[in-house]
Amino acid sequence: MSAVVPVKWLFARLYEPDIVIVDCRFTMGKPDAGRTAYEEEHIPGAVYLDLERDLSAPVEEDGHGGRHPLPDIAELAARLGKVGISNESRVVAYDDQGGAMASRLWWLMKYLGHENVFVMEGGFTAWKNAGLLTSSEQKVLIPARFLATVQHNMLVEVEEVRESLGKAGVVLVDSREAPRYRGEVEPLDRVAGHIPGARNFFWAEGRRADGTWKSADEQRERFASLSQEDEIIVYCGSGVTATPNVLALREAGFVRVKLYAGSWSDWISYADNPIATGEK
């Protein structure tokens, strides 16, 4: 089954007891906008998880770990349980940012060993455009128990990225827009450029012009220049918009896909790390 489910799929299962719907809306630079939007209206029964408060750890003073460090595993598992997610839950995440925030939760849950997690096609706007009911009522939370089984092979740290530079059989994928990849602009981080040898696949190109996700065949065509035999390390600015590329690669049949969670903002926090600009 695809990791991306249509609005109608969720609507048909809206009140099934093992379904937990998670609103992940978040706007970079406006940290309260997502929660405010959730409190105004959301899919009935949805709970809210915040990118920075729930799905990331606090930023380190030295910048190591990047702008959105991975949360502590025990704290995240406890937080998931607190909003009613158990190991038996089917979790459906949505946002209104093209799937980037929902994919962060999708990746984190996969990393914790939870397979039944999905991203809703089109986000909250698609739900509203379908004429479906919304609510401002917040669900009464019944805590559950969530036990993590960490999938360490899904993640790489900065040391492994350093060791991969120029190594045969390892491909770095930069998920940012091309001007940021080339180092022409950098709106968020103090240094522009990319990790040497990385190839640019802008995450948003995993969607069609109408905003819907490309099919598995379309994703395979998009990544046709990559080999499924290679180990693929995906990064972005801070480990958020890399996750929809991880999802897209998995949909296309790639299995040796890892996330460099600290991403560019972590890479540049080490003064000795090399930096490339342009197309190289």
For the full predicted model, state whether its pTM sits above 0.95: yes
Could you tell me if 147 and 77 are in contact, meaning their C-beta atoms sit under 8 angstroms apart? yes
- C-alpha count within 13 angstroms, C-beta hemisphere, residue 257: 24
Could you tell me if 275 and 194 are in contact, meaning their C-beta atoms sit under 8 angstroms apart? yes
Could you tell me if 156 and 111 are in contact, meaning their C-beta atoms sit under 8 angstroms apart? no
Mean pLDDT of 247-269: 98
Give span(s): CATH 3.40.250.10, the chain. 4-129, 152-267
Q: For this structure, is 236 an active site residue? A: yes
Q: How does pLDDT run across 56-67, given as a tens digit for each residue?
A: 999 999 999 999
Expressed in percent and rounded to 5, the helix, strand and coil fractions of the chain are 30, 15, 55
Q: Percent of the chain scored above 90 by pLDDT?
A: 96
**Whole-number pLDDT of residue 161:** 98
Q: How confident is the model at residue 29 (pLDDT cuts 50, 70, 90)?
A: confident
- Candidates 108, 236, 249, 257; catalytic one: 236
Structure tokens at 179: 């001007």
Class of domain 4-129: alpha beta
**Whole-number pLDDT of residue 33:** 96
Q: Which residues pair with 156 in a beta bridge?
A: 260
Residue 155, pLDDT > 80, answer: yes
CATH code for the domain defined by 152-267? 3.40.250.10
Nearest to 234 by CA among 268, 272, 274, 194: 194
